Chain A
């Protein structure tokens, strides 16, 4: 019926290129108007602020902690190479990498197990993953402070089996536990999605060709689920690198991470130009890293 109507209208009024072009233009205008409110919002409240901190990063901090704009310089960028700052960058990078690797090693067999259950059980098991993922992040991190605390539940459990609790709270290990806990679901979700829709007949074919289990996994299952590995890695690494709550609640004075360091520039020391330079560089690193990783991941997947 649809075809008939189109055919009729074609005979009634032949569509001239001119008419078609103006129809496309009208359509384009409609799309633009629909997108406009959100677009304008993000330009004003995201793109402009981004530009402003970029400008601020070339400013000067006065003795009273105000920011002087106008005397442009690169001081803030030079201070990024100070060894104290590099130390914090290094710790953030190492902890974020460790978080990503541990999460991947824990999440892969976990997601594999869930994805290979029957459809009903699979759904239920995923809901059980989603519930903690949706519950308040701050509160869940705070709970680890209780668990890891001196004479807390973990110490009691370990004491029961005769092990002295190592000091975890306010150390790098404590932060790492919190980071893995907070970001594990971000790793599980994409892995599950890619393993679940895997074509198992390919794995079967490999097995039929006498590949052993490990080889079939390495040559078939893993490459086919690479999209999930790439997605999960990005979703875990980026927030872990800029983490603020976990190091603040579970770390100590000796384990400062980038997030807290930037926050300090805006509050404790009011050095906005330096804080802005740090923010801007991290943002740029994240963007470039994500693009490169996606491109390469896309090729291997």
Chain B
């Protein structure tokens, strides 16, 4: 007896569950749709419809501060993603494939940046940088300032954890006999990694990198604590605009941000599908052999 037939015994319950799920999906998507619709609103009022126009998109493109915030966001996201993906992947390999001293402590330390509330992490970063800069200033005579660098350093901190968790999950589900087979065939450790392990964990690495990219592009709290003058990122800039008083330009920016993040998700889904297709191909080959 299958799951479906077990549940179909209760036609009414089934219908209630279906209706409930539809309502949840409406709840998930309504804000996104409302936002996109209102970004084309002609009026000055942000949430009262007054006809369609592209004027807020045009005005957005002329906002220099906004464009520079966008540029900063991209720099921060790309650099922090590259560094944290490299460090996180190495960490996942070390924790999953080796036994070494201090491993348990590291394992615990890794989960902390995920568990700790965001504001706490932000406060820690701010106090740390100010204290460190004060120390550097006394030592060298010139005190550094909060800048894009401090934002990047903070983002790497929480992203290492996210990348490690994702890559580790992938490694844990991997059959170690494949790597052993490579070793038995006299592959060096590096060759076994390059030719066997890395291709197999690639979907995990890409998934982790995408998560890191999203986290970095999304972050408001930590970034607003450690950004200096002139180093605002897009979300922090938008957050400031919203707090100051809402202008319809925000709707246009927000709609574009939504669009960009959706494009990212879909490309990652495609990449993962590519990954599982490669796996299926491999399986087929194994069967043939």
Q: Show the binding face of A for B, using Cβ within 8 Å.
A: 1-2, 5, 27-32, 34-35, 37-39, 41-43, 45-50, 52-53, 56, 106, 109-110, 112-114, 116, 118, 125, 127-132, 134-140, 142-147, 149, 151-153, 181, 184, 200, 203-204, 207, 213, 238-239, 241-242, 244-245, 248-249, 258-259, 262-263, 266, 272, 275-276, 279-280, 282-283, 286-287, 290
Contact = CB atoms under 8 A, between A and B. Distances in A.
Nearest to B184: A2
Nearest to B250: A142
Given A113-B20, A118-B4, A203-B6, A262 B98 contact: no
A109 to B, nearest CB: 5
B176 to A, nearest CB: 13
A202 B93 CA distance: 37
A39 B91 contact: yes
Nearest to A27: B98
B288 to A, nearest CB: 19
Given A52-B127, A113-B21, A242 B100 contact: no
Contacts of A241: 117
Given A109-B17, A130-B265, A140-B31, A266 B117 contact: no
A245 B220 contact: yes
Nearest to B114: A238
B53 interface: no
B249 interface: no
A142 B153 contact: no
A213 B239 CA distance: 48
B32 A135 contact: yes
A213 B257 CA distance: 45
A63 to B, nearest CB: 19
Nearest to A24: B99
Nearest to A155: B47
Interface of A is mostly: helix
Given A137-B218, A244-B118, A38 B164 contact: yes
Nearest to A263: B119
Nearest to B93: A34
B269 interface: yes
Contact of B100 (A29, A43, A200): A29
A114 B254 contact: no
A31 B47 contact: no
B265 A266 contact: no
B99 A142 contact: no
A142 B35 contact: yes
Given A142-B242, A143-B254, A276-B123, A135 B100 contact: no
A280 B117 CA distance: 10
Given A28-B100, A41-B160, A140-B258, 20 more contacts: A31-B97, A32-B94, A35-B95, A39-B106, A45-B153, A48-B128, A49-B127, A49-B128, A50-B112, A52-B128, A118-B4, A128-B28, A134-B265, A138-B220, A140-B32, A146-B34, A200-B6, A238-B115, A242-B118, A286-B117
Contacts of A5: 184
Contacts of A290: 115
B120 A138 contact: no
Residue among B29, B125, B258 with most chain A CB within 10 A: B258
Given A151-B48, A266-B126, A136 B257 contact: yes
20 contacts: A28-B99, A32-B101, A35-B95, A37-B87, A45-B128, A48-B128, A50-B124, A109-B17, A110-B24, A112-B17, A114-B21, A132-B28, A146-B47, A146-B251, A184-B24, A213-B13, A249-B243, A262-B123, A272-B127, A286-B116
